[in-house]
Amino acid sequence: MKLLSIENISATYGGIHALRAVNLHVDSGEVVSVLGPNGAGKSTLLRVISGLVKPEPGGVVSFHGRSLIGVEPYKIARQGIAHVPEGRQIFPDLSVDENLEVAGVRIDAGKRKTKTAEVYELFTELATRKKQIAGSLSGGEQQMLAIGRALVSDCELIMIDEPSMGLAPVIVMRIFTTLRDIMESKGLTLLIVEQNARLSLQLSDRVYVLSQGEITLDGPVDLIKEDEEMRELYFATEK
Amino acid sequence: MLGLTDFIQNLVAGVSVGLTYGLMGLGVVFLWQSINRINFANISSAMLSVYLFFLFHTWLGLSMLLSAVLAIVLVAVYGLGLRYLLYEPITKRGGARLEFVVATLMLTVFWLTLIIAMFGGMPRRFPPLFGDATQFVRFFGVGVRAIYFYMIVVVAVLMTLLHVILRKTLMGKMLRATAQSKETAQLMGINVNLTANLAFVMSTTVVGVAGLLLGPIYFVSPVLGGGAIGIKGFAAAVMGGLVDPYGAILGGVVLGALENFSTLFISSAYRDVISFAVIAVVLVWKPTGIFNWTSKKE
């Protein structure tokens, strides 16, 4: 079943043609990766979905069959789409607890408590820093908090923008493994945007390759791994 | 020789007047935090609340308490007006910070001239909302003018209330989150329209309350909507780096005390000269605010 559907989406961002006639869909329960180098339009794609960037007219963005185009970003978030933005964007002057709390505005206080407790169980380092100002956390902990916020929101679809950015490989590994676990145990759907092809391929069911705003390749992960162009990209990130 | 009693009396007077400057500074901080704009039109809120109170009580004969409440409510609505009739249209048509600042400056002058045209430039008697202005109360064993006592109590209650709202309620946390990143707040499902409204309303309301507190000292006069008092609010806010609410209050207190002691030790004529000279030096020395604890935690 199609959860998220994107048809013929073009968008300009910062004066550049960031997306050109992109088609993409995510089924319920899938992990889908969008791979591509810096500046390929990956972040713009997520920003279009969450309503922060308006696409050019003529395209379709729909969630559960309902159009998201022109809907205010906060209302899109409340429909159950959590966007973990590039650079994590935690609220630095709010405590860890408060960061999680404000992410759960669409659910009632009781459910928010349960969800918060689950996040602390998953990321024990956060549990010991509940009252600490989020700006004082390490990069890895901040990424955990950013993902934690998405989990507290009780969403159906999590979109993550470059979870590996600026983090040590060990931590990246840990975060990706946790993501996979969450996926399976909670029945969530994941859309990941990454430069790190190697890790994303391990995690994903299907992959899209985005290059200069266009989808140049897409398919199940096993097929993508065989592709020559993909091999280049795959090895390029190895260096 | 300055006696201890004189010293304490002057300190209390300075601190309490300073607290009201701090309240005006809070008005600046709330808006800067939520929309990243300096709003000079908020200076008028102090004057408007006092004249509305005067209008309701002295002209229309309503009770003092009801008049004060109505005045504050209308000033709160003025905050929404500033958003939807000024900020939103300017922003929608491509105006940035400078255009907004100039527009709000114009609006301040508009209110000032309107008030002078309607009520004349001479001060009117401020109805005794806080009792007889010449009355004294005992405060730590020292006789203090009742109005200073009310200033301290009202600001303390208001600060506690704001503290609880900002730190303990979900709405307050949403407001702080929006202040830190409007975009990310939206991604969390926070209705940033609502938090912006709240910020506008809070900013004019606190300045309106400050106006009523200053009434017994400055009377019902256009001075409350003019430069000198408004600028002191801004100075208090800048001492808190424009972002720290507690810094703004403390900035106001320091300013108030400085003013009072300048009057006591030097001359009342030079009071504002001295305090503005000190503010200027402090701002040049530490433009990010001497009482700014908020933006240093990175």
Higher pLDDT: A75 or A239? It is A75
Q: What is the mean pLDDT of residues B268-295?
A: 83
* Per-residue pLDDT reduced to its tens digit, A159-217: 999 998 889 888 888 888 888 888 888 889 999 999 888 888 888 999 999 999 999 98
* Per-residue pLDDT reduced to its tens digit, B20-64: 999 999 999 999 888 888 899 999 999 999 999 999 999 999 999
**Locus of tokens 């961002």:** A13
Residue at B36: amino acid letter: N
Q: Could you tell me the two tokens for A17?
A: 């043609």
Q: What is the pLDDT of residue B3?
A: 80
What DSSP character marks residue A153? Answer: T
- Report chain B residues whose CB lies below 8 A from the CB of A49: none
Q: Is the pLDDT of residue B195 over 50?
A: yes
Is the Cα dihedral B189, B194, B196, B202 positive or negative? negative
Q: Which chain B residue's Cα is nearest to A149? A: B188
Judged by a CB distance cut-off of 8 A, whether residue B182 touches chain A is no
SS3 state of residue A87:
coil
Q: Write the CB contacts of A162 (distance below 8 Å, at least 6 apart in sequence).
A: A42, A43, A86, A193, A194, A195, A196
pTM of the model: 0.87
Q: Which chain A residue's Cα is nearest to B294? A: A93
Reported confidence tier of residue B295, pLDDT bands at 50, 70, 90: low
Q: What is the pLDDT of residue A239?
A: 40
H or E element, residue A63? strand A60-63
Q: What is the mean pLDDT of residues A54-61?
A: 95
- Report chain A residues whose CB lies below 8 A from the CB of B298: 92, 135
- Report chain B residues whose CB lies below 8 A from the CB of A138: none
The answer to whether B39 touches B31, Cβ cutoff 8 Å, is yes
Judged by a CB distance cut-off of 8 A, whether residue B279 touches chain A is no
Q: Is the pLDDT of residue A6 over 80?
A: yes
Interface probe for A, chosen from B166, B176, B187 (most Cβ of A below 10 Å), is B187
Q: Which chain B residue's Cα is nearest to A147? A: B188
Q: Is the pLDDT of residue A124 over 70?
A: yes
Q: What is the pLDDT of residue A236?
A: 56
The answer to whether A199 touches A176, Cβ cutoff 8 Å, is yes
* Per-residue pLDDT reduced to its tens digit, B245-263: 899 999 999 999 999 988 8
Neighbouring C-beta atoms of residue B237, cutoff 10 Å: 31
Task: Write down the ipTM of this complex.
Answer: 0.92
Q: Do B187 and A136 touch (CB under 8 A)?
A: no
Of B183, B188, B297, the CB nearest to A52: B183
The domains found in chain B, sorted by start residue, are 10-285 (1.10.3470)
Of B181, B186, B192, the CB nearest to A91: B181
CA distances from B188 to A76, A94, B154 (A): 10, 14, 35
Q: Is the pLDDT of residue A46 over 70?
A: yes
- The runs of H, that is alpha helices, within B1-96 are 4-35, 44-54, 64-81, 88-92
* % of chain B exceeding 90 in pLDDT: 60
Judged by a CB distance cut-off of 8 A, whether residue B190 touches chain A is yes
The domains found in chain A, sorted by start residue, are 1-80+191-239 (3.40.50.300)
Alpha-carbon gap: B251 to the closest alpha carbon of chain A (Å): 21
Q: Do A74 and B183 touch (CB under 8 A)?
A: no
The answer to whether B210 touches B48, Cβ cutoff 8 Å, is no
Q: What is the mean pLDDT of residues A64-90?
A: 96
